A and B are shown apart, each in its own frame.
Chain A
Amino acid sequence: MTGALSRVFPIATVVAAIMVVWYGFTVYLNSPWQIEQYEKAGIEWQMEDLVRDTMAHDRPILPAPHQIVIEIWETTVEKKITSKRSLIFHGGVTLSSTLLGFAMGTILGIGLAVSIVENQAMDKSLMPWIITSQTIPILAIAPMIIVVLNAVGLSGLVPKAMISTYLSFFPVVVGMVKGLRSPDPMLMDLMHTYKASRWQMFWKLRLPASVPFLFASMKVAIAISLVGAIVGELPTGAVAGLGARLLAGSYYGQTIQIWSALISAACMAAILVAIVGVVSHHTLKRMGLRA
């Protein structure tokens, strides 16, 4: 096996295995209700009937993969983007707060990391709080952020983005602090012998050395931003976004809708992480680092 095939084959194998297990569970989990229906109607049933029918429920306990694919197709390609039932519309809402939150989180994270590395007092006073902030369950704090921000007149995109920021700044701080401190003591001595100023030390040594660390953190941060955006859409009774789709789906027992929103979110996360990966690869290559 060479090239693309050797990369695709292992992934395809795993996907195929998941599909087999998934279809198996679809039949298994949906069959009690189906059998009940057969008995009520007094229908004689065969195994093949059961397999066919359990995969065609409107509100299955576990929808079959093809039902989810059809649902995604119908709510993306076959719906106008402006429609409230379009998954692209909802995905776009979530994406916008993900990206805003990610951008704010990255900037905040870099800023905090720089102040921590350059200032000992900041290191001692800030770092414990930064770590504490991540021990609070986001589900508990998200509604409060939304409510408090609403009270001061902020609603819509910004509060949701703030929740993404709250989650995504953390990996950036941790990675960036490590990166800014990564230069070898020998290199610090070297700069010292050149009478380099603090600013030169930072700009010419610490900052470039931290770039690979920053990108690794940003990959985590963007995925976690998406989680934050979805969580931010849950408690507010938001009417738009993938989170709102999840919530509405669970209110009305629309499992297919829930799963299609989930799968869309997962795909979006994968694409976002891949984009950061590509940008990272090219940036590091341009810097002459072997990426």
Chain B
Amino acid sequence: MASRTGEDLVIDAKELCLTFDANDGPVHALKDVDLSIERGDFVSFIGPSGCGKTTLLRVIADLEHPTSGSITVNGMTPEQARLERAYGYVFQAPALLAWRTIQRNVGLPLEIMGLSAAEKAERVARTLDLVGLDGFGQKFPWQLSGGMQQRASIARALAFDADLLLMDEPFGALDEIVRDHLNEQLLELWRKTGKTICFVTHSIPEAVYLSNKIVVMSPRPGRVTDIIESDLPADRPLDIRESKKFLDIAQRVRNGLRDGHSYE
């Protein structure tokens, strides 16, 4: 594991607060969040809805702005990081453009970056292959299943070639079987590419299976209640979920979630 030097910190948040002004008073979406994520980490954010996990991800992506506290992404402000195109973002829904083929959807960020046609084609082919969608490039989104659409949106985030991947409940809308399959693929992808991945989920098994670090959050105000370092081996077949070690970590996550709730 890399040492904790400034250079290796991809995300560094200190006393991060974000308050929304709602009609019936302020909503503390994030309160005093301290978090550091190292290069190559797979970090899951887990918690009930309203705990600010998506908000935190959006702050990292410069889609929301913190009220107070500090946060750096790759040593820069989130805005600088966004302008440097430091991350790929995967949304809850595939968010594919209906009028573009899969190939042209994956190529969209590259088009905006102004890459040459040749490089674009090469990267699109490579990332489609990476998510197991080679041969589907000419299809339109509606011709693909939900799971395939979400894979295409992951390919689009990967085509970017950023070292950081932000994923907001990407498999939340998919059924269990497809989800297992995509979890395996994602893990494989992480091992192959060595990217840093921030992954929002509300599924305990998913979080434990995928991550080497689990950030447990609780709502009202949204805050981090526990950060669990997982020491599961890098090679994780699906049946690791039956192992004692896995269940112990899952238990700790569950306790963390329960503690968070007892504040109410």
Interface of A toward B, CB cutoff 8 Å: 184, 186-187, 189-196, 200, 204-205, 208-209, 211, 287-290
Contacts and interface: CB of A to CB of B under 8 A. Distances in A.
B109 A194 contact: yes
* Interface residues of chain A: helix, strand, loop or mixed (majority): helix
Contacts of B85: 194-195
Interface string B93-118: 10101111100000011011100000
B99 A193 contact: no
A193 B97 contact: no
A31 B113 CA distance: 78
A145 B91 CA distance: 53
24 contacts: A184-B95, A186-B92, A187-B95, A189-B63, A189-B91, A190-B89, A191-B112, A192-B82, A193-B61, A193-B62, A193-B82, A193-B87, A194-B112, A195-B82, A195-B83, A204-B112, A205-B97, A208-B97, A211-B99, A288-B98, A288-B99, A288-B101, A289-B98, A290-B142
B140 interface: yes
Interface in B52-96: 61-63, 82-83, 85, 87-89, 91-93, 95
Nearest to A208: B99
B100 A186 contact: no
B113 A194 contact: yes
A193 B63 contact: yes
Given A193-B61, A193-B87, A200 B142 contact: no
Given A187-B95, A193-B87, A194-B112, 16 more contacts: A186-B93, A186-B95, A187-B97, A189-B91, A193-B61, A193-B62, A193-B88, A194-B109, A194-B113, A195-B85, A195-B112, A200-B112, A204-B108, A204-B111, A209-B99, A289-B99
Q: Which 5 pairs of residues, A with B, have the shortest CB-CB distance?
A: A288-B140, A287-B99, A193-B89, A194-B112, A194-B109
Contacts of A205: 97
Interface string B112-127: 1100000000000000
Contacts of A204: 97, 108, 111-112
A190 B91 contact: yes
B91 A186 contact: yes
Interface residues of B, number: 25
B63 A192 contact: yes
A287 to B, nearest CB: 4
Interface in B206-222: none
Contacts of A209: 99
Nearest to B61: A193
Nearest to B113: A194
Most chain B beta carbons < 10 A, residue from A195, A211, A289: A195
B96 to A, nearest CB: 9
For A191, A193, A196, A287, which residue has the most chain B Cβ atoms within 10 angstroms? A193
Contacts of B108: 194, 204
B87 A288 contact: no
B210 to A, nearest CB: 22
Contacts of A287: 99
Nearest to B84: A195
Contacts of B87: 193
Contacts of A290: 142
A195 B85 CA distance: 7
Contacts of B101: 288
A288 B85 CA distance: 29
Interface string B142-156: 100000000000000
Contacts of B88: 193
Given A193-B89, A195-B83, A288 B100 contact: yes
A179 B203 CA distance: 37
